[in-house]
Amino acid sequence: MDTTTARQFWIRSPGLAEIVAALLTPRQEGEVLVRTIYSGISRGTEALVFRGEVPESQRNAMRAPFQEGDFPGPVKYGYSSVGEVLEGPADLKGKAVFCLYPHQDLYCVPADAVRPLPEGVPAGRAVLAANMETALNAVWDARPGVGDQIVVIGAGVVGLLVAWQCSQLPGTQVVAYDIDPGRAEVAEALGVSFTSESPAGRDADLVIHASGHEEGLRTALATAGMEATILELSWYGDREVSLPLGEAFHSRRLTLKSSQVGRIPADRAPEWDYKKRMEKALRLLLDPRLDALISGESDFEELPQTLEKLARDPAGALCHRIRYPRDPNSTRA
C-alpha cells in the first residue's frame, strides 16, 4: 500500500467538513507507522467541535493530543483510533494498537503514544477505549461506596459505562435514567437497571450526570439525598446553564463536583499515570457485552456527511464506528 500519502478528516469551518489528501512525513526514529482499521466518533464532544461551539476560553484545554489547526477551524480533531503498526520497533510491528489520534487512514506517532490491544479485545470494540477511560476517571472522581444507591442521568456511552462500572461494586443499587426509552435495551445488555421515568426524589447517595442537558442536571439536584455528591460529566461548550440552587441544594448539603478526563484525581496520581490508566481502560473492554454500545458503522469516505447528521440529529446514536479500507496484504480486519 502507498505509505507516502494520508487521507485526513478536517473541519474547515463550523458545519463544513471534508476529507483531504496530504503527504505523510517519513517515519522518524522512535516512531511507528499506523494503518487505521477503525476510529470512533465521540459524539457529544465532536458534535460541539463540528458546530463551532468550543468557548474561546477553553480552546487550549480542549485540544486533542494530535490535533492540527485551531478551533473553530480549520481543525483536524478526534481521539479514538485503532490500527495496525506497519513499521516500528519489533515488539510493536504487526500489532493492533489504540491511539488518541484524529480520523486519518495512515499516520506516524511516537511509539509510546500507542497502546497494544490486550489479547481478547477486538479492534472494533477498542474504539470505546477513550470513552472507557473517561468513565474510569469519573468513577474515581465520584468515589462510589459499597451499598450506595447510585443514579446515572444520561444513558449515552459514557453514562452507561459509568453505570456498568459502578454496578460491579458489592451491594450497590445502580439505575441509569434517560428520557429515551430506547436505551433500555442497551442497558439491559450491559446488566444495568434502567428507567425512563424521572428519578427525582430517590434520595440517592451519588448522582452522576452525563446527559449534556441543563434539565438533566436539574433532575440530578432533585434526585440527590442528604449530603450526597452530584458528579457533573457533561460538557456544555459555550452554553450557559441555570440551576435552582435556592431550593434543596443548601438544606441537603449537596456537593456538586466536576470531572474531566484531562486530569487524574489527586488521590490517584501517586500510583497512576495516563499510560497506566489507558491500559486499564483497554483491559476493561474484554467484556463482549460492551459491543452493545456500538450503534452504527459507516465508511471513512462518508465521515463528513456522517458527522453532520450526528451533530444535527443524533437520533439515539451511541458510539458510531468508522471503518477504513482494508489493506489486502494484512490479516487484520
Report the pLDDT value the prediction gives residue 328, as an integer from 0 to 100.
Answer: 59
pLDDT of residue 1: 75
Query: Strand pairing partners for 319?
Result: 294
pLDDT tens digits along 17-64: 999 999 999 999 999 999 999 999 988 889 989 999 998 988 998 899
Q: What is the pLDDT of residue 329?
A: 62
Nearest CA to 126 out of 259, 293, 6 is that of 293
Cα(158)–Cα(29) distance, integer angstroms? 36
Q: Please state, in angstroms and rounded to a whole number, the distance separating the CA atoms of residues 240 and 79.
A: 26
Q: What is the pLDDT of residue 42?
A: 84
Q: DSSP alpha helices (H): ranges in 14-166? A: 43-51, 123-126, 129-142, 157-166
Q: How far is CA 113 from CA 8, 34, 36, 104, 203, in A?
A: 19, 11, 14, 16, 43
What is the reported pLDDT for 121? Answer: 98
Q: Which residues pair with 13 in a beta bridge?
A: 16
User: What DSSP string describes 170-239?
Assistant: TT-EEEEE-S-TTHHHHHHHHT-EEESS--TT--EEEEEE-S-SHHHHHHHHHHEEEEEEEEE----TT-
Mean of pLDDT values over 300-311: 96
For 231-248, how does the pLDDT look when each residue is reduced to its tens digit (9 = 90+)?
999 988 778 889 999 888
Beta bridge partners of 296: 320
Residue-level pLDDT at 332: 65
Q: How far is CA 154 from CA 86, 192, 269, 271, 332, in A?
A: 39, 13, 28, 31, 35
State mean pLDDT over 297-310: 97
* Average pLDDT score, the chain: 95
At 140-188, the pLDDT tens digits run: 999 999 999 999 999 999 999 999 999 999 999 999 999 999 999 999 9
* Domains of the chain, earliest start first: 5-128+285-323 (3.90.180.10), 131-258 (3.40.50.720)
User: What is the mean pLDDT of the segment spanning 114-127?
Assistant: 98
Residue that the C-alpha cell 450526597 belongs to: 228
Average pLDDT, integer, range 81-103: 98
Confidence of residue 331 (pLDDT cuts 50, 70, 90): low
Enclosing H/E stretch for 303: helix 303-312
pLDDT over threshold 70, residue 13: yes
Q: Which three cell numbers stand for residue 70?
A: 485551531
Nearest Cα to 308, choosing from 9, 15, 12?
A: 15
Query: The C-alpha cell of 176 is what?
Result: 441509569
CA 310 to chain centre: 15
User: Is residue 131's pLDDT more than 70?
Assistant: yes
Give per-residue pLDDT as tens, 182-211: 999 999 999 999 999 999 999 999 999 999
